[in-house]
């Protein structure tokens, strides 16, 4: 079966849906995830798998995730964002 990279809500965020971020070059240090209007908990195994790939994951509501992404970019960090609209 094909893996869907489409994420409609925080419930759709999985190791598979985050696979694109593990393929980026240069390798990202931090992935900022915005989960909509509020901070939502992600499955601990998903976060652990990303850490094992060397990618820290910051989960925030989308407005704060945008601000964090911009701050990290200004610090010249290698960062990516996955944002669910509020």
Specify the residue for token string 């925030």: 60
* Cα–Cα distance for residue pair 66/46, rounded to 1 Å: 21
Q: What is the residue extent of each domain of the chain? A: 3-83
- The 10s digit of each residue's pLDDT in 56-66 is 999 999 999 99
- The 10s digit of each residue's pLDDT in 6-55 is 677 777 788 888 888 888 899 999 999 999 999 999 999 999 999 999 99
For residue 2, pLDDT over 70 is answered with: no
Residue 65 burial (10 A CB sphere; 0-12, 13-18, 19+): buried
Reported as type and span, the H/E element at residue 60 is strand 56-60
> Which CATH superfamily, name and number, covers 3-83?
MTH938-like (3.40.1230.10)
The pair of three-digit structure tokens given for residue 82, joined into one six-digit string: 């996955």
For residue 4, pLDDT over 70 is answered with: no
């Amino acid at each position: 079966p094909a893996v869907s990279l489409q994420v409609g809500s925080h419930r759709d965020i999985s190791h598979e849906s985050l696979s694109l971020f593990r393929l980026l070059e240069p390798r990202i240090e931090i992935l900022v995830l915005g989960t909509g209007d509020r901070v939502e908990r992600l499955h601990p195994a998903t976060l652990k798998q990303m850490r094992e790939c060397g990618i820290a994951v910051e989960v925030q509501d989308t407005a704060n995730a945008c601000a964090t992404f911009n701050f990290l970019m200004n610090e010249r960090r290698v960062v990516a964002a996955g944002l669910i609209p509020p």
